[in-house]
A and B are shown apart, each in its own frame.
Chain A
């Protein structure tokens, strides 16, 4: 039962229990859990069923089969694409964490009075439209876009030779994703540095450690949970990303998520293979979340 056990007279306890038995945890949780069961758990189970051909896009009877899984694991095409997405996500996460760390360090430890105002300044762009920020980069990076036309205009570059690899490339995808995630990622690192006990640094300094030494031996190890959390907050969603690559990636920026979409939304749908790809991605993400769950505590996100 939810009521706390306290040192009270038995009569008072009984009165209390009589008066507040109505709303218990199951009755509160009934609606939210039912909603998630019907519109979250069941849909995923249906995807799994499609991947084994238990359900199919085509009418008629279907034997359960592992054919799609077998093809997926042996053809190599999809796994290579997955590996490419893993590499791109690693690059994006590393860049973002490397940029966010010094910023979080500055805000948390420099003793600036306006750190929460500055933090809001940093995070505000994250809360504006995702698609519009992608649009901004598309306007900037195009062959005749803002950046190239600026170079033509100022005579630094001839209009016959624009920087043409800017848009529709793997570079563009990495740049835009890093841009999109950067404000968000400073937060968990900031939280871990903010909670750092400064007396540890003072003690180290009194004992003769240089700033670099105390950073390496104290600050960095103690902020590792924040770094891991930040890394995963970027890595996990980037792995299944398909919107940014489809807008600025072209052929070379095509990612695993785009392949999933294409298997469902093109003129030649293959829901069985698409479901295999989706379940595989979900499996990897779930595994990562479980393995690193101690770094993904809600308090890392809900700070502020």
Chain B
């Protein structure tokens, strides 16, 4: 006999789990269906299969440039966030110092700040110092909000790693940098990759903070927001949605599978 669940209870919970998964995926499935629907409005009845909307968005230069802008912002800001995150995570895991509690609280606090408050705070900062809003100001904001994620991903990996390997390298005469490059970084690499991917997807999808500091540039979320708010070309946006959701699901599942494989190999 199972102490946590009766057989009937397990059956009910399983059915409930299936229902919730259906609830979570149904809207995505509906988007996929209507992205192939040959009609200007997404409504029943379905009126035939088409690839028209996918073709439309492939030739939509506004959309492509928005995607490109967001990719650049995400690539740069997550690289910077991962770099700062490695430094902070090593300090927090490998070193003891006075004021560690408050310091780690500060490093993680962007996790809980309401983005509306952070966005307008940055806006006021740039206004006060007279810095023109651009993709650089968006990068600045995204580095702040993705930094705690990178730290949280790398800390557990650093805790698992065997310190004696690094110590052995020093004892054999390797410099700090050399040890970091040949021991710490390779061992930390799986976590660095997942941190980068998490930061990248967060930045790529970030609207709230960007809406305050982006100025006249159009990032992908900014483009989507106006497309969702004033839907003049809905089927095309739906096609984009399907492509983006598919890619991000692939990346997420791939990253997770890769991480588990790497951890099994590296121990």
Q: Give the B-binding residues of A (Cβ under 8 A).
A: 2, 16, 19-20, 22-26, 28-29, 31-33, 35-36, 39-44, 46-47, 50, 55, 99, 102-103, 105-107, 109-111, 118, 120-122, 124-125, 127-140, 144-146, 148-150, 152-153, 179, 182-183, 198, 201-202, 204-205, 211, 214, 219, 236-237, 239-240, 242-243, 246-247, 257, 260-261, 264-265, 271, 274-275, 278, 281-282, 285-286, 289, 296, 298, 301-302
With contacts A26-B97, A46-B121, A281-B114 taken as known, whether A302 is within 8 angstroms of B156 at the C-beta atoms is: yes
**A103 with B117: CB separation less than 8 A:** no
Closest to B141 in A: A39
Most chain B CB within 10 A, of A102, A136, A264, is at: A136
Is residue B73 within 8 Å, beta carbon to beta carbon, of the partner chain? no
A-B pairs with beta carbons under 8 Å apart, 17 shown: A29-B91, A35-B144, A36-B110, A36-B144, A42-B125, A50-B124, A109-B4, A122-B20, A124-B252, A129-B241, A138-B228, A139-B34, A139-B234, A140-B30, A146-B34, A179-B24, A205-B3
Tally of contacts, chain A with chain B, CB under 8 A: 267
Closest to A121 in B: B21
**B117 with A28: CB separation less than 8 A:** no
With contacts A103-B17, A124-B253, A179-B27 taken as known, whether A131 is within 8 angstroms of B97 at the C-beta atoms is: no
Cβ contacts under 8 Å, B68 to chain A: none
Closest to B29 in A: A136
Tell me the interface secondary structure of chain A in the complex: helix
**A289 with B112: CB separation less than 8 A:** yes
With contacts A25-B95, A132-B224, A211-B4 taken as known, whether A43 is within 8 angstroms of B124 at the C-beta atoms is: yes
**A302 with B3: CB separation less than 8 A:** no
Cβ contacts under 8 Å, A282 to chain B: 113-114, 117
**A32 with B147: CB separation less than 8 A:** yes
**B20 with A302: CB separation less than 8 A:** no
Cα-based distance from A241 to B5 in the complex (angstroms): 38
